[in-house]
Amino acid sequence: MHPGGAPLTSRPVLFAFAAFVVLGGANAAAVKAILGEMPPFWSAGLRFLTAGALLLAVMVVQGRPAPRGDRLLGTVLFGVFGFALAYFFLYQAIGDAGSGTTMVVLAIVPLLTVLLSVAHGLERPRPLGVVGALVAVVGIVIVAADQLSLDVPLLAIALLLAGAACQSESVVIVKRLPPGDPVAANALGMLLGGTLLLAAGLVARESLILPTQSDTLLAMAYLIGPGSIGVFMLALFILARWTASATSYAFLLFPLVAIVLGAVLFGEPVQPSFVLGGAVVIAGVYVGAIYRPRTATGG
């Protein structure tokens, strides 16, 4: 039994994890498409305000309870770190870094989550978790070796690292202060995060324009539905059953999804390094997130 409450090989959780990886891995490409027409803070704010409003309607219609006490605090912090701060940094960086580089840098999330989980006293240091994350990062480097551009601004890399740190902290917050009902938590968290991002757009004097191009409209529809509502509902579902560090291993698989989508949708060639690196990543995820050595029984 996993410390989070469900076996690591539980089929529903593994299915949710796979869906989380696929949907989350496609987000960077959709964001990149949107930023071709819309400014970063306004587009991010519009995304989360719309998704949050839809979830709020579901919450009201179904009579779901609003969080109170520690759950309310967890929801507020989830909104600030998981939506406002994380996407404040990521949306500024992705235009210069590109979706592939963005996902590669975000592969550091599991390592940060392990460190933050230990720092918060949520998990004990686990050598296999660190080893698995390091192995998977090596796989990501192999996959992305011919995709990383030397002309990516250092500021963009720094912003991506800041976004990764905020996403890691949001994962830990959900475990430390569970926000309760996932619909209510995501509705209020997205509304709070979207409002703060909109405020950042106003301070930056961005043009509050609505998308008109078909590609932008399609990308925004994806990000509001599967890319936001779907991804974050799945994240809370998995976090309720796995540890923070195990859940965060999805970030190591996101780049693989991005490359596969590029090959399927845009005809981008799949290099041999993808096969090798993908195998290394999967091995690292298995060692760090799923594998548990048998405990000696002494008999």
One pLDDT digit (tens) per residue for the chain, 299 residues: 444 455 556 788 889 999 999 998 888 888 888 988 999 999 999 999 999 999 999 999 999 999 999 999 999 999 999 999 999 999 988 877 766 677 777 877 877 887 888 888 877 777 887 788 788 788 877 766 655 554 667 788 889 889 989 999 998 998 888 888 889 999 999 999 999 999 999 999 999 898 889 989 999 999 999 999 999 889 888 888 888 777 888 877 887 787 777 677 656 666 677 678 778 877 887 787 667 676 544 44
Q: State the residue for tokens 């469900």.
A: 6
- Sign of the CA dihedral running 265, 259, 250, 194: negative
Instruction: Report the distance separating Cα 57 and Cα 118, nearest Å.
Output: 37
Nearest-10 crossing angle of helices 250-266, 272-285: 150
Three-state secondary structure call for residue 52: helix
Task: Name the phi and psi angles at 203, rounded to 5.
Answer: -65, -40
**pLDDT value of position 95:** 76
Instruction: Report the distance separating Cα 93 and Cα 87, nearest Å.
Output: 9
Cβ(248)–Cβ(116) below 8 Å: no
- Find all residues with CB under 8 Å of 258, minimum gap 6, and list them: 25, 26, 28, 29, 99, 100, 103
**pLDDT value of position 217:** 94
Cβ(149)–Cβ(47) below 8 Å: no
**pLDDT value of position 28:** 81
Closest CA to 216 of 100, 49, 46: 46
CA 103 vs. chain centroid, Å, equals 10
Cβ(167)–Cβ(82) below 8 Å: yes
Cβ(139)–Cβ(284) below 8 Å: yes
